[in-house]
Chain A
Amino acid sequence: MITFDKENLEDEMGYVVENDVVLAALTKQLDEVSDQVKVQYRSRAVRYTWPLPYQTAESNPWVQVELASGQQLQTKLLIGADGPNSMVRKAAGMQTVQWNYEQSAVVAVLHLSEPTENNVAWQRFLPTGPIALLPLSDSASSLVWSTTHQHAKDLLALDDESFVDAINSAFWSNENHSELIDTAGAMFRSALSLLMPSGTSPRQLPPSISRIGPKSKAIFPLGLGHASEYIRHRVALIGDAAHRVHPLAGQGVNLGFGDVACLTRHLSQAAFDGRDLGATRHLLEYETERQRHNLPMMAAIDILKRLYSTKMAPFVLLRTLGLQATSAVPPLKVSCGCV
């Protein structure tokens, strides 16, 4: 067991924000700049026409977008933010490295048995995949349970009571532990406490669940995806269109937010220098900066996922002892927490 908490790190670990809240905030901001940003709801792009690399008298040097309604738009820079199955990415022909995890994630809103100071996020790695409880309020938490396709479908089909039982037992049951590993773990823990008597923070227990929020269950498949190019002339990909990760680290949307911040910075600088926004130079800088950040993160998440998926004893021992060591060595824990 490893705990990341406030004593070792400077500020809050993070914030859990419901998607609806994020959307409401964004809509409010968009309303404030409605003279500069026009949002067309209920529209879908059906075709993209890319500009030629060289300019001729007849061809249009900008990207042309045809909407389902028949409307034609043209733009200096097309930003593809259309998710893991990005049409922009496919239409531009950008190569993607991707594989499926043979897992699906079940999400739901859960109500706790008793209201507590709900500020702890819990994650337990089961043989089928990690189950995570993320706090939403004092009495509600969000569930993300990554498991095999079949198990996920079964969970979705369960009635509410059985679903709650399944969740509670997932957090509490010890049936998959082997004695050997448990003994090794206990010995290592006592050795560490001899070497580093600074100790760990008081041990909390995960909350127990009483019921699920109505109609809040959903399922989606998991996989890894990474576009080898984030940009082309007059095209940029951000968010899941460029990279897709396993939810076990809770980093998917954060990588996307990072992309947005980086691209905004580069575009602002380009605009202040009078450059054409679709020019490749500053887009390449964005791509380099983000790939350097995203790839190590994605690799780490993938390694963790594989490490915790296996039942083979050496790896189980490695991860048990490794986790305890990381928990006991503050600099290692801080660097893991800061990433």
Chain B
Amino acid sequence: MEARRRLVSGTTFRCVARALHVPIMFVSVRPLSCLPSGTLVQPAIAKQQQHAPYLTYKKNFWQGRANMCTASRTTLDLSEMKKFQSLANRWWNEQGEFAALHSMNDLRVPFIRDNLLNRNGHLKPGSPLSGYKILDVGCGGGLLSEPLGRLGGLVTGIDPLEDSIRTAELHKSFDPVLNNQIHYRSCLLEDITEEAAETFDAVVASEVVEHVNDLDTFINSCYKVLKPGASLFITTINKTNLSFSLAIVVAESLLKIVPSGTHDWDKFVNPVDLERILETNGFYVESINGMCYNPLTGTWSWIESTAVNYAVHAVKQKAQPESEFTETTTEEHRDQTRTSTRTSV
């Protein structure tokens, strides 16, 4: 079912997809239902699952046959890239297409800053995030990378779209301080998981997970690049009827707050599923908060309900000693984790 939704047709796409797949072919695709939540998952290199369709896909890939479903191996969705291509040089127009993202900084920057400081302390006056290595995945034009850099963080911004990276580079180049704090690179997260294994104090994936193809792989890659005990920040859109009517119908067609076609409702993730994926991949969820955009004032605010937009702060679990879990113990642990992570500000 899922694979059919991700059909990518055309020879050009297949060639590009194959070229990008090389580092990812070792990651296996696990059906989530087999794993109890709360288990620490080792990113397995060759754990074969007895799940027939995926084996067929792997076989076809190795035979070099263009296979439409190989696109599911990467988190990159080329159709998503195309949506942002034409807008690449309009990132920094604060009243333009990305106005809502600019004003979302009022929520996301304090969210990241305060959660990092709460966990780790050491506030240096004038430069609260100094010493933190932060990865901004899907940075686009650098809208979120720049404030984090100004706060003292050493930011690496990555985005698959070269034009966006070029825009971001140009925008930061005039400020000599920012120029040294932020580095941009046009690549995928999966491309840097090996060279950047366990290097970052924080990974920020803001308004990204609703555009990726394979969320599990994405979260897994985030896990790989984070230091143990480090934080992952995600902001995304819930998959509800309300989010369809507000985030797609109203925002795109009626009020034109967001360029038409930006979001695909099928790709929205609800917080429960996201939490499950996070826990499966070795994170525990510290907090989930709902966000709300007021189109009249152009400002965002925190709300109780996660029905449309929400933000998640997850922490990579530190390594635990190996132990045997019995079935009952695991279920108890899962219940406990569920109740304790239901926090909201």
**Residues of A near any B CB (own CB < 8 A):** 54-55, 57, 60-62, 76, 271-276, 279-281
Q: A273-B105, A273-B109 are in contact. Are A55 and B147 (CB under 8 A)?
A: no
Enumerate B98-113 residues with CB–CB distance to A below 8 Å: 105-106, 109-110, 113
Q: Mark B95-136, 1 if CB is under 8 A from A, else 0.
A: 000000000011001100100000000000010100000000
Q: How far is the CA of A180 from the CA of B186 in the complex (A)?
A: 87
**Which single residue of chain A is at the shortest CB-CB distance from B148?**
A274
Contacts of B148 in A (CB 8 A): 274
* Besides A271-B126, A274-B105, 7 new A-B residue pairs in contact (Cβ under 8 A), listed by A number: A271-B150, A272-B128, A273-B110, A274-B113, A274-B150, A275-B105, A280-B94
- Using CB atoms, name the residue of chain B closest to A60: B174
Q: Which residue of A lies closest to B144 (CB)?
A: A274
Q: Is B92 an interface residue (CB 8 A)?
A: yes
A291 to chain B, nearest CB (A): 19
Question: How many Å lie between the Cα of A281 and that of B104 in the bound state?
Answer: 13
A54-B93, A55-B92 known; A274+B109 contact, CB < 8 A = yes
- Give the chain B neighbours of A55 by CB distance below 8 A: 92, 170-171
Whether, in the assembled complex, B237 has its beta carbon less than 8 Å from a beta carbon of chain A, the answer is: no
Distance in Å: Cβ of A264 to nearest Cβ of chain B: 14
What are 25 inter-chain pairs, A to B, with CB distance below 8 A? Answer: A55-B92, A55-B170, A55-B171, A57-B170, A60-B174, A62-B174, A76-B175, A271-B150, A272-B128, A272-B151, A273-B105, A273-B106, A273-B109, A273-B110, A273-B147, A274-B105, A274-B109, A274-B113, A274-B148, A274-B151, A275-B105, A275-B147, A276-B146, A276-B150, A281-B94
Alpha-carbon gap, A276 to B92, bound state (A): 12
Contacts of B126 in A (CB 8 A): 271
Name the distance in Å between A270's Cβ and chain B's nearest Cβ.
10
Q: Which of A57, A62, A276 has the most CB of B within 10 A?
A: A276
- Distance of A281 Cα from B92 Cα, bound (Å): 14
Chain B residues within 8 Å of chain A by Cβ, number: 20
Interface 1/0 per residue, B139-155 and A, CB below 8 Å? 00000001111110000
Kindly count the residue-residue contacts between A and B in the assembled complex, taking CB atoms under 8 Å apart: 37
Out of A57, A62, A274, A280, name the residue touching B147 (CB < 8 Å): A274
Q: How far is the CA of A54 from the CA of B170 in the complex (A)?
A: 13
Q: Which residue of A lies closest to B173 (CB)?
A: A57
Chain B 168-223 interface residues, beta-carbon cutoff 8 Å to A? 170-171, 174-175
Main secondary structure of the interface of B (DSSP, over half): helix
Interface residues of B (CB under 8 A from A): 92-94, 105-106, 109-110, 113, 126, 128, 146-151, 170-171, 174-175
Which of chain B's residues have a CB closer than 8 A to the CB of A60? 174
Among residues of B, the one whose C-beta sits closest to the C-beta of A74 is B174
The complex places the Cα of A62 from the Cα of B173 at a distance, in Å, of 12
Q: Can you list the 3 inter-chain pairs with the closest CB atoms, starting with the nearest?
A: A274-B147, A274-B150, A274-B151
Q: In the complex, which residue of chain B has the Cβ closest to the Cβ of A53?
A: B93
Residue of B at shortest CB range from A57? B170
What separation, in Å, do the CA atoms of A228 and B176 have in the docked complex?
Answer: 34
A54 to B93, CA, bound (A): 7
Inside 8 A of B92's CB, which chain A residues have their CB?
A: 55
* Residue in B closest to A36 when the chains form the complex, CB atoms: B126
- Distance between B194 CB and nearest chain A CB, rounded to angstroms: 30
Contacts of A272 in B (CB 8 A): 113, 128, 151
Residues of chain A with a CB closer than 8 A to B128's CB: 272
Pick the most buried of A54, A57, A274: most chain B CB atoms within 10 A of its CB. Answer: A274
B146/A274 in contact, CB under 8 A: yes
Query: CB-nearest residue of chain A relative to B174?
Result: A61
Cα(A108)–Cα(B153), bound, Å: 55
User: Given the complex, which residues of B lie within 8 Å of A62, measured CB to CB?
Assistant: 174
CA distance A228 to B324 in the complex (A): 73
| In the bound complex, CA of A253 to CA of B149 (Å) | 38
A274 to B152, CA, bound (A): 9
- Closest A residue by C-beta to B129: A274
Smallest CB gap from B170: residue in A: A57
Distance between B66 CB and nearest chain A CB, rounded to angstroms: 40
**Separation of A280 and B110 alpha carbons in the complex (Å):** 19
User: Within 8 Å CB of B170, what residues of A?
Assistant: 55, 57
Contacts of B105 in A (CB 8 A): 273-275
- A55, B151: Cα distance in complex, Å: 23
When distances are taken between beta carbons in the complex, the residues of chain B under 8 Å from A54 are 93
In the assembled complex, the CB of B300 is this many whole angstroms from the nearest CB of chain A, namely 13
Query: Smallest Cβ distance from B106 to chain A, in angstroms?
Result: 7
A273 to B112, CA, bound (A): 10
The CA-CA distance from A274 to B93 in the complex, in Å, is 18
Residues in chain B near residue A274, CB distance under 8 A: 105, 109, 113, 146-151
Report Cα–Cα, A273/B105, bound state, in Å: 8
The distance from the CB of B323 to the nearest CB of chain A, in whole angstroms, is 42
CB of B154 to closest CB in A, whole Å: 14
B192 vs chain A, min Cβ distance (A):
24
A92 to chain B, nearest CB (A): 20
Q: Which residues of A contact B109 (CB under 8 A)?
A: 273-274
CB distance from A39 to the nearest CB of B (A): 20
